[in-house]
């Protein structure tokens, strides 16, 4: 019933002066589809999907009638994504967004068949963390000359913050008296939005090393609002530009979050406490990383055992 009402709303938007329903182009249908979905999706979800539809549908086949789109058109979009050397996980995400777009067009009877069927999604293999010890990361952080870069990286490692959450921080989010940090927003695509999940909106304990770094950055920073102001300073810094020009560690920024979990595990912190600090929506998510931690710990213990046995033999 709701789908039928939505379809009627779309048709009213697309009626010509002579009362005939025109066949919308991909671009025209995208405008109405996104307008309607904005009422349903969370803002961060809408921003992500609007960006994908605009860049990879409207820009490439936007002038084509939606009924004339073929699987070959979708295959060419897929090929263009590969030619731009996007990660396979991102390509899969974009193709899923495009699939949902045409699925709506089919449900609302603008097309009879979804052209994304038959286009193969890339297979995603589980990514392994780089072979780096947490002690090495701590050494890198301690040696950073820029207090701004040091603070950004330390927030990813010690506070387990995602990069969007780091750039969404204001000085009002930090309570230096209680050493508590409040996460209530993130920066996505240059826009300030809600955190990734409801569980992400929570308080985080500031470990002592991070507290020292943030206090030093507070003394240097001229901003009274954003921790990391952009240009103009009334807006937060752009994470894409920062990663490209200033993040030099041999890993993804998000890996700092995983290494931070490893570091807490090495310190004997129970998984349920780690899950609370990481603000995972489920403890099982923490265990996915914890399994990697356990494998590393096992390898280190075996290596240590063999070294000790070798010294005993000698």
What's the CATH number where 276 sits?
1.10.443.10
Q: In terms of domains, do 172 and 246 share one? A: yes
Q: How far is Cα 130 from Cα 114, in angstroms, rounded to an integer?
A: 40
3-state secondary structure of 19: coil
Buried b (16+ CB within 10 A) or exposed e, 206-225: bbeebbebbeebeeebeeee
Residue 3 pLDDT: 45
Whether residue 211 is contained in a domain is answered as yes
Count CB-CB contacts under 10 A for residue 75.
15
Q: In terms of domains, do 143 and 103 share one? A: no
pLDDT in tens, 248-305: 999 999 999 989 988 888 888 888 888 889 888 777 777 766 565 555 566 666 776 7
Q: In terms of domains, do 30 and 174 share one? A: no
Domain range spanning residue 240? 134-302
Helices (H), 14-130: 26-37, 43-53, 59-61, 71-83, 88-107
Residue 255 pLDDT: 92
pLDDT in tens, 54-77: 999 999 999 999 999 999 999 999
Residue 126 pLDDT: 63
Q: In terms of domains, do 293 and 166 share one? A: yes
Residue 194 pLDDT: 78
Residue 121 pLDDT: 74
Q: In terms of domains, do 103 and 141 share one? A: no
Confidence (pTM): 0.65
Domains identified in the chain, total number: 2
Q: Which residues pair with 21 in a beta bridge?
A: 15
Q: In terms of domains, do 83 and 159 share one? A: no
Residue 15 pLDDT: 45
Domain ends where: 65, 91, 107?
107
Q: Do 167 and 235 form a contact (C-beta atoms < 8 A)?
A: no
Whether residue 119 is contained in a domain is answered as no
Q: How far is Cα 139 from Cα 154, in angstroms, rounded to an integer?
A: 11
Residue 300 pLDDT: 65
For the domain that residue 24 is a member of, what is the CATH number? 1.10.150.130
Angle of helix 147-158 relative to helix 134-143, nearest 10 degrees, comes to: 160
Q: In terms of domains, do 282 and 158 share one? A: yes
The structure tokens listed for 164 are 């969007």
Mean pLDDT of successive 10-residue stretches along the chain, which has 314 residues: 47 48 85 90 86 92 93 92 84 92 92 88 70 92 96 96 94 95 86 78 93 96 94 89 91 92 85 86 69 59 70 68
Tally of CA atoms within 13 A in the half-sphere of 260 that contains its CB: 27
Specify the DSSP class assigned to residue 53: H
Angle of helix 26-37 relative to helix 88-107, nearest 10 degrees, comes to: 90
Whether residue 146 is contained in a domain is answered as yes
Whether residue 311 is contained in a domain is answered as no
């Amino acid at each position: 019933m709701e789908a039928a009402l939505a379809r009627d709303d779309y048709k009213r938007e697309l009626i010509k002066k002579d009362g005939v329903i025109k066949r919308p182009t991909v671009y025209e249908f995208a405008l109405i589809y996104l307008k309607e979905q904005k009422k349903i999706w969370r803002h961060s979800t809408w921003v992500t999907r609007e960006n994908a539809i605009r860049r990879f549908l409207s820009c490439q086949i936007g002038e084509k009638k939606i009924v004339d789109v073929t699987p070959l058109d979708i295959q060419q979009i897929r090929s263009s994504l590969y030619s731009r050397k996007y990660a396979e996980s991102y390509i899969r995400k974009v193709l899923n967004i495009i699939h949902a777009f045409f699925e709506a067009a089919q449900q609302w009877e603008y097309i009879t068949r979804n052209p994304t069927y038959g286009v193969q999604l890339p297979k995603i293999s589980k990514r392994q963390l780089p072979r780096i010890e947490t002690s090495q990361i701590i050494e890198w952080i301690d040696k950073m000359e820029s207090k701004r870069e040091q603070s950004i990286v330390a927030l990813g490692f010690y506070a387990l913050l995602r990069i969007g959450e780091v750039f969404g921080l204001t000085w009002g989010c930090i309570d230096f008296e209680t050493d508590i940090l409040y996460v209530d927003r993130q920066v996505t695509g240059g826009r300030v939005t809600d955190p990734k999940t409801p569980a992400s909106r929570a308080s985080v304990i500031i470990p002592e090393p991070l507290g020292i770094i943030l206090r030093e950055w507070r003394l240097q920073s001229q901003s009274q609002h954003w921790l990391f102001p952009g240009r103009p300073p009334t807006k937060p810094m752009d994470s894409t530009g920062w990663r490209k020009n200033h993040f030099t560690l041999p890993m993804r920024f998000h890996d700092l979050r995983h290494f931070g979990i490893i570091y807490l595990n090495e310190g004997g912190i129970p998984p349920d406490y780690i899950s609370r600090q990481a603000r995972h929506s489920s403890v099982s998510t923490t265990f996915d990383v914890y399994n990697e931690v356990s494998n590393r710990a096992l390898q280190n213990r075996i290596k240590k055992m063999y070294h000790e046995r070798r010294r005993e033999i000698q």
